[in-house]
Amino acid sequence: MENLQVRRVAILGFGTVGKGVYKVIRKQQEEFPYIIGAELEIAKILVRNKAKYSQEVEETILTDTWAEIIADDSIDIIIEVMGGIEPARTYILEALRAGKHVVTANKDLVAQHGHELLDTASQNNCDLLFEASVAGGIPIIRPLKQCLAANTITEVIGIINGTTNFILTKMSQEGMEFQDALALATELGYAEADPTADIEGYDAGRKIAIMASIAFHSRVTFSDVFTEGISKITAKDIRYAHEMDYEIKLLGIACNTPEGIEVRVHPTFIPKNHPLAAVSDSFNAVFVHGDALDDAMFYGRGAGELPTASAVVGDVIDIARNMQNICTGRIGCTCYKSLPIKPMAEVKSSYYLRMQLEDKPGTLSALAGVFGENKVSIFKLVQKTRDNDTAEVVIITAPVKEKRIQEAIKTFSQMEIIRKISSVMRVYD
Amino acid sequence: MENLQVRRVAILGFGTVGKGVYKVIRKQQEEFPYIIGAELEIAKILVRNKAKYSQEVEETILTDTWAEIIADDSIDIIIEVMGGIEPARTYILEALRAGKHVVTANKDLVAQHGHELLDTASQNNCDLLFEASVAGGIPIIRPLKQCLAANTITEVIGIINGTTNFILTKMSQEGMEFQDALALATELGYAEADPTADIEGYDAGRKIAIMASIAFHSRVTFSDVFTEGISKITAKDIRYAHEMDYEIKLLGIACNTPEGIEVRVHPTFIPKNHPLAAVSDSFNAVFVHGDALDDAMFYGRGAGELPTASAVVGDVIDIARNMQNICTGRIGCTCYKSLPIKPMAEVKSSYYLRMQLEDKPGTLSALAGVFGENKVSIFKLVQKTRDNDTAEVVIITAPVKEKRIQEAIKTFSQMEIIRKISSVMRVYD
């Protein structure tokens, strides 16, 4: 193969993912001419401190100056793996306006400003791809946009945060309490020093917002997502869940209903025979229901240097193929609808409640009365323990609107015979 | 949206999948302008007997004459869902030569003549897509060609035949024997009147050949695939498998090794904690290992009217987008290598053997001697039953080349103290 064109890329950021991208491109160097009909060359790597990386990378390609990259017309593709909103957003917008194509792994940015970026890409006939922003190495954006394009997708449910899935797996399989499992995750490097974004479901919230937008063809941003974290889950809740043939997972759930899009992240009881229930440790999985497809699931590594780089470089290859065929911008934003977001109060779900009750006649009848007044049907009620004058009961309700269960809980909290509402979690069924 | 271009399709065949395609296109009619920027219209449906379908479909689009379709220059895309080699092959070649793009769900044809079809497509700057030919609704061809293009893929393992997976699930979960489970599958419509292609692994063999070609960038056809079916598996083997924490699944396995491509279909002991072990009933799943990706799995409906149509119409949408962007033929054949196929005799695997031995001193030592002479290491040996003068033993070997185990079995068959070799199956580890 002679006289091949060379597609030149710049990598912004050289953290875990940036290093992975560098390694994958170098490793596949000989394959690109066959795969894309062109060479692929790393032209520049943008870092803050060049000296820090001079042992790992040829010094000539390191730069600490964005202006050097944006001014270089020979650079075709920008790979943004810095993370955070700024300066990533500004760099990407400038790159697109300069006619450069962009690949990003930045879920925070895509979930918040994705549509601004996609609009700018479209105006400049550029590609903006972001497969790595959701579920790392697992192909999900492209399947949703292309393979499943013949479907009306009604449901996307994901285990899309490896840190929390690792913690819940340890709690489930080894009976650990949350704090101990979190400590272990931190020790093993699965949890960051400040684990808030993972634990509280913000990370998963960004990813489900991105998937909901694409699956339902309507703009959904992170601010539309209801989030609830996993820090209140106890080993006891998980034991009770097992006794009823459930696992507890932190799920990102997006549903397209006639009354609007439901989009939320919360700990969820999920039946043990559901394929998502078996997704353990730091693995991720996304479950999709479409009207033609029926059920499908995509499973794999949701994070990590090389899995994430696999998705990033897959996008780079796609862009290079588009350049080769003069069809960049081939598939841009697919949000051609404006569907409302359903308020969380209107979302229907079954619920698990664990409560400490005064152990005397009439208590259950009073409890059932409050449920009845709020139109909450009880699907199952089990007394778990009796200790002195306190009984612990577990209740599974029939599906009911969030606002009704919240009303019932408000009333319970004012009743003396109800000593404590220990847990409230949603049940997927 | 006014003055939109209209892309016209013809459907060849109106069986289960053809009807599904018709339904999905009709159902999504309003969406196509937004998804592809053009209208999509069913121009013709080719059937043998027009009268048979005149109640279901407008008579004007039914035809029994291929010449009418091939001569119609307004038809852009041919959807081949007739099945079988001829006349499907001839029709597709003629269509491509006439500049028409083709979508096919025909695994028999793609596994045997795929490269002829792809070459012809390429010569005519046409698209030939076949996502539905493997694992029905599950996106796997496009993920392999695009999303995972940055990987050196070393392994593709699939449960890619729903009929046999249904049968094995019944045997595993309900202790049924093979013949009873097959009868049930036939009764429920999961098995065809002549179930040979499913039961003997030919259907799975065609699909693994197609996936191996794409994953390893080298031509693999059905004739390269070693196949062994499930009819010899007994409920007892499955019970013994469970006791050692395995499930038995009919797997299509393709490995890219330095000595060549291994490609085979056979019943396999797979550890219970492997994600494929939990794939039950008629569901399909494909497990992929790549150097960057690590492990990923794609799970869903491997057959059926609408799931298969989901994949077919997804391909049609892709072609229509290519037409819109004047980039048809964007991704053609990706087999740019010529890797050898490893002979089955050289393929290494662990083995499960169930044998009936004469129950007297010296038998085990003779058995072990034969294994030793053939360089087969025993990983585990368990005596299961003793009945009169016969002992049943189960043996799991260490990984060893196929030819060595076959040599050992040949010797065993001539030894009087070995009364019967009841089962021989490969173990994935």
Angle at the Cα of B112 (from B111 to B118), degrees rounded to 5? Answer: 80
ipTM: 0.95
Amino acid residing at A50: K
Asked if A4 is an interface residue toward chain B (Cβ–Cβ < 8 A), one would say no
Which of B290, B297, B317 lies nearest to residue A150, judging by beta carbons? B317
Which of B307, B317, B334 lies nearest to residue A149, judging by beta carbons? B317
Cα separation, B84 vs B13, whole angstroms: 11
Cis peptide before A87 (omega within 30 of 0): yes
> Which chain A residues have a beta carbon less than 8 Å from that of B138?
296
Residue by residue, DSSP assigns B158-175 as EE--HHHHHHHHHHHHH-
Q: Which one of B44, B207, B249, B342 is the catalytic residue?
A: B207
Amino acid residing at B396: I
**What is the pLDDT at residue B292?**
97
Q: Which of A226, A323, A216 shows the shortest CA–CA distance to A267?
A: A226
A197-248 pLDDT, tens digit per residue, is: 999 999 999 999 999 999 999 999 999 999 999 999 999 999 999 999 999 9
B34·A317 Cβ contact <8 A: no
A300·B294 Cβ contact <8 A: yes
The DSSP bridge partners found for residue A294 are: A290
**What is the pLDDT at residue A387?**
87
Amino acid residing at A324: Q
Asked if B136 is an interface residue toward chain A (Cβ–Cβ < 8 A), one would say no
Percentage of residues of chain A with pLDDT beyond 90: 97
Residue A429 pLDDT greater than 90, yes or no = no
Confidence tier at A1 by pLDDT (50, 70, 90)? low
A254-280 pLDDT, tens digit per residue, is: 999 999 999 999 999 999 989 999 999
Min distance A214 CA to chain B CA atoms (Å):
12
A68-116 pLDDT, tens digit per residue, is: 999 999 999 999 999 999 999 999 999 999 999 999 999 999 999 999 9
* Structure tokens given for A243: 């006794």
Cα separation, B157 vs B150, whole angstroms: 19
* Structure tokens given for A101: 């194509």
- What's this model's pTM, rounded to 2 decimal places? 0.96
Residue by residue, DSSP assigns A250-289 as EEEEEEEETTEEEEEEEEEEEETTSGGGG--TTEEEEEEE
Angle at the Cα of B222 (from B101 to B233), degrees rounded to 5? Answer: 130
Average pLDDT over residues A35-41: 96
* Structure tokens given for B428: 């994935």
Cα separation, A53 vs A184, whole angstroms: 30
Asked if A293 is an interface residue toward chain B (Cβ–Cβ < 8 A), one would say yes
Q: Which one of A107, A207, A249, A342 is the catalytic residue?
A: A207
User: Look-up: residue for tokens 């892309």?
Assistant: B7
B147·A306 Cβ contact <8 A: no
B35·A275 Cβ contact <8 A: no
User: Look-up: residue for tokens 């931190």?
Assistant: A186
A207 carries an active-site annotation? yes
What domains lie within chain A, and their CATH numbers? 6-137+305-324 (3.40.50.720), 141-299 (3.30.360.10), 345-427 (3.30.70.260)
Asked if B289 is an interface residue toward chain A (Cβ–Cβ < 8 A), one would say no
A316·B290 Cβ contact <8 A: no
B230-266 pLDDT, tens digit per residue, is: 999 999 999 999 999 999 999 999 999 999 999 999 9
Confidence tier at B429 by pLDDT (50, 70, 90)? confident
As separate numbers, helices (DSSP H) first and strands (DSSP E) second, chain A gives 15, 17
Average pLDDT over residues B37-66: 96
Q: Is B42 within 8 Å of B17 (Cβ atoms)?
A: no
Give φ, ψ of A57 to 5 degrees. Answer: -135, 145
Mean pLDDT of chain B: 96
Cα separation, A199 vs B414, whole angstroms: 64
Q: At a CB cut-off of 8 Å and minimum separation 6, what does A194 contact?
A: none
Cα separation, B373 vs B404, whole angstroms: 9
Confidence tier at B3 by pLDDT (50, 70, 90)? confident
Average pLDDT over residues A142-155: 96
User: Look-up: residue for tokens 């007739």?
Assistant: B82
> For B315, which residue in chain A has the nearest alpha carbon?
A147
Min distance B382 CA to chain A CA atoms (Å):
29
Which of B138, B147, B310 lies nearest to residue A292, judging by beta carbons? B310
Q: Is B260 within 8 Å of B341 (Cβ atoms)?
A: yes
B296·A138 Cβ contact <8 A: yes
